[in-house]
Each structure stands twice: as C-alpha cells, then as structure tokens.
Amino acid sequence: MTVQDIHPSLAAMEIVCAETAAAPTAMVVFGASGDLAHRKLLPGLAQIRQRGLLSEHFCLLGCGRTEYSDEQFRQMAREALRKNAKGISDDTARSFIEGLYYVSGDYDDPALYQRLKDRLAELKARHRISGCDIFYLAVPPALYGRITEHLGAAGLSCKGEPECQQCARLVVEKPFGRDLQTATELNQILYRWFSEEQVYRIDHYLGKETVQNLMIFRFANGIFEPVWNRSHIDNVQITIAETLGVEHRASYYDQSGALRDMFQNHMLQMLALVAMEPPSSFDADRIRDEKAKLLRSIRPFEFDEWNSSFVRGRYGPGIVNGQHVPAYREERGVAADSTTETFVAARLFVDNWRWKDVPFYLRTGKRLARKDTEIAITFKQVPHSLFGSVGLDELPPNVLVFRIQPEEGMSLHFQAKRPGSKICMGTLNMSFAYKDVFHAEMPEAYERLLLDCMTGDQTLFTRFDSVDLAWRLLMPVLDAWQAGRTPLPEYPAGSESFPQADALPAADGRRWRRL
C-alpha cells in the first residue's frame, strides 16, 4: 500500500524538499590559513558548489597572519579539498578554487582592513557581486572583539545603512564569551557595529541532520506531539560522549573545560529543541523565541543545592580503543596543577505546564568508552501489567532515540510477542538509519550553516538572548567550581561513567543509558 492508496492528495507530498540557492556573495574568512578553514569551511563551500547551490559569482578572500600569495592559498585549498571533501568533481574543484584570494597582515593593524576593503571592492567588481558581504571569524575568541572594531571603523559593517541592498553579515564561532560578563561585553562590541540581524553565532551541532530533524519529527507528525509531555514521558537523556582527549586543543581546552566547551552551547541548545513549545511558523525568530522561552523555564540552581544537580570529573590514565592513553594532566599543553573538568553531568527541570517535574539528564565527557551523541526520550511504563501471573510485573519502558553521531538515525524500542509460547515477549527495535535509507553520505553540519548564512536564514544560529540565558543559568555552577567548593573526581579513560556521575540519576531511581 502506498501513500496514494491512503489518500490521493498526499502522493505529491511524500517527499517535500525546499532548498534556496545562495545569491552572489563575497566571503571574507579571518583565520583562513588555520585548521577550521582547512577541515570544514573550504570543503563545506565546495560541497555547496557541487550541489549547484553556490553562485558562480561567489568569491572568497582569505585573511590571516601567515603570508600567502593567492596561488599559495589556492594550493592549500586544493589540499584541503583532497583530504576533507568527498565526491567533489575536478570541474567543481577547479571553478571553486579559481574564486579564492588572500590578503595577509596583523589583525590589530588598521592598514590591513583598508587593504581588505580595497581588495574586496576589486573582487566584487570582477565577479559581478552586488549583494551580501560575509565576514567569518575563524580565529581564537580573544580576537572577535578586536576584529569587529576594525571592521566597523573601516566602514565594512554597513549597520544602519538603508541604501545597502543587503547588509554585511558577521559569523562568530563558539564559545561566545567565557562567562556572563565577557559574553555581554563582546555582544556590546558587536552591537556597536552590527545589528542582531547581521550576527550569525554558529553552533555546529544545530547543523547536524538529526538535530534539525527534531523539529520535523515533532511538528510535522500528528502522532507524537500529544504524548510529548509530563503525562507520558518519564525522563529525557542527552549524551555527547567522545573517545578523544584534548588533542591539539589543550591550550584552549584547559582554559575552558567541558561546561563552557560543550554544555553552555551544544547541550542546552539541543535541550531547547527537544522541549520547546511549537512555534507559530517556520520563521527564524519565531523558533528562536520558543527556544528562549524554554531556557527561561529551566529551574535555577540555588547555591546550597546545585551540588545535587551537577557532577564534574577529569579523566585519568586508561585504555581507549585498545590503546593506553595518559591522564588529562599528563597531556601536552595542560597545566600540571589544572583543575579543569573533562566531564559534566547534570539533572535539570523545566518548570512549565508541559514538563513540570520531568528530569532532563545531560552528560558530556572526553576519553569515554565510545563516541556517541544521542537524545533518548524514555516514556512512562504502562500503569498496570496484564502479565503479572507469569512474572512480568514490570515491563521495560518504550524509548525513542535520536542518534546524532557517529551514525545518524532514529530508533524506537517497544514490546512485542516473539514466535513461540503464548506469552513470549521481548523488546524490539524499530530503527531508521539515514545512510541505509538515502544511500548517501550525510552532509557536514557546516555545509548547512554556511548555506543558511549566505541565504540569510538565521533559524539554526543562536540569538543573544539564548546566549545570555544560558550563561545566567550556569554562573552559580561556574562560581562554585572557581571557588574550589566541589570535588573533581578522576575517572579511568575508556570507562562509560564513574560512581559520582551514576549517583545523579540513581537518586531518582533511574540510570544512564549504556554507551
């Protein structure tokens, strides 16, 4: 039976795809000689060109401290595409690389921005670009404010200029500040030269297919939203587990830690998508309004009770994927007396009508047993088991799982009869994997976000009110940790968890899902 057999008018809507191609655009990438540009930005843009969604009039002007000629930068780009872009044809690679240019200088030198302005005007005339300028800050966070000030002083921000056909856009990587004060100060600098409509704060987790699918799953299907509430859901677990250590990011990570690096942005944003109310439309600000409302509804942490809601840890030596690995404080670039956490677990409550008293368990950590990012919705058990006479007084709950990485998909665990005796019951897993259904490589999150930025769609970008709310929520925790008022237990690298983290859901009679 097909969709058309059920209802003829639905046949044409079985697959609905809406994709907007980017208009002619000039992009300036600060930090263009760095790792992010090499691994994500250049390959992502080339993939968009391969899909026919990047204008032939697109050009990219790289900017960095490393001295490159245009041809040297193009050679670097060729290597980046060879290593990190799959399925790019020779013709696509050639046409994309022909539109790449480079200018070098010191980010604190005003002369750099005048050269950049002159070169940008020349390239826009050459490529016949009259639309949007995008300034992408792929640089350390400490440079965000300084670069923004220079862009504004050079007249490149276009704020408040109605004659601009499309204003300049500023793309900022996370982390957005180290705490509430620095986030507010940085935002004041950005607002001096750019309006909120011009600022695109990237959270690459929001570009992942399964995360995007949360809204489609919830709001395009009539069968799930009626049970998406405290009457039917027992708990929600959000996990981001990594097998890697700090790798080449030690100098940054030791000043950041898991709470700032993963929790304040990725995890709270995913929680907002899971729990927010239905927006009035698929409009960027209507969606972001609901996410902000959700974050405002998270129960604040009191100074005398936060310890029962948050647990932190740090990995010690152990074995990961059969290899012996050092403890965190033995990693190159990490201070010997570091008090930085590499694991955070939390229990949150959302105080609104839909979610009152439903616990949300969140955990993220490095050097764990397996790489796994998922959102698991555990439904309440049946109120009365009919099968108590055969020892089945308690039946396993139904669990809906959104698998975000490494293999994107969804699964639903439910009870069913198995072949055999009259009562032969077991948990079945109805699973959907993107790669098996669509027979294609999943697009990188940066592809989605870069295209959205070029088309002016801010749906998957974080608005400052959400940034502000997240920092306000977590400041009591950061302050307590900074004061050294909490333990920092060590867990063996390669473990799934450790006792202090397990105690968090155990206090409610629950436990973490296995990695």
**Known catalytic residues?**
266
Measure the CA–CA gap between 481 and 471, rounded to whole angstroms.
Answer: 15
Helix (H), strand (E) at residue 506: helix 499-506
Name residue, tokens 């390239």.
123
C-alpha angle with apex 482: 481 to 483, nearest 5 degrees?
90
Name residue, tokens 């990695």.
515
Measure the CA–CA gap between 46 and 123, rounded to whole angstroms.
Answer: 19
Contacts of 375 (CB under 8 A, 6+ apart): 214, 236, 237, 238, 239, 270, 274, 401, 402, 404
Measure the CA–CA gap between 80 and 452, rounded to whole angstroms.
Answer: 22
Q: Which residues pair with 171 in a beta bridge?
A: 136, 200
Q: Which residues pair with 62 in a beta bridge?
A: 29, 102
- CB atoms inside a 10 Å sphere around CB 119: 16
494, HSE (Cβ side, Cα atoms, 13 Å): 11
Measure the CA–CA gap between 472 and 480, rounded to whole angstroms.
Answer: 14
Contacts of 20 (CB under 8 A, 6+ apart): 53, 455, 457
Whether the Cβ atoms of residue 325 and residue 495 lie closer than 8 Å to each other: no
- CB atoms inside a 10 Å sphere around CB 133: 22
Helix (H), strand (E) at residue 242: none
Which candidate, 88, 83, 81, places its Cα nearest to that of 51? 88
Query: Cis before residue 175, ω within 30 degrees of 0?
Result: yes
- Return the SS3 of 484: coil
Query: Cis before residue 406, ω within 30 degrees of 0?
Result: yes
Sign of CA dihedral 414, 415, 416, 420: positive
Q: Which residues pair with 30 in a beta bridge?
A: 63, 137
Q: How far is CA 81 from CA 14, 31, 125, in A?
A: 35, 17, 27
Helices (H), 65-206: 70-84, 90-97, 110-126, 144-153, 180-193
- Return the SS3 of 395: coil
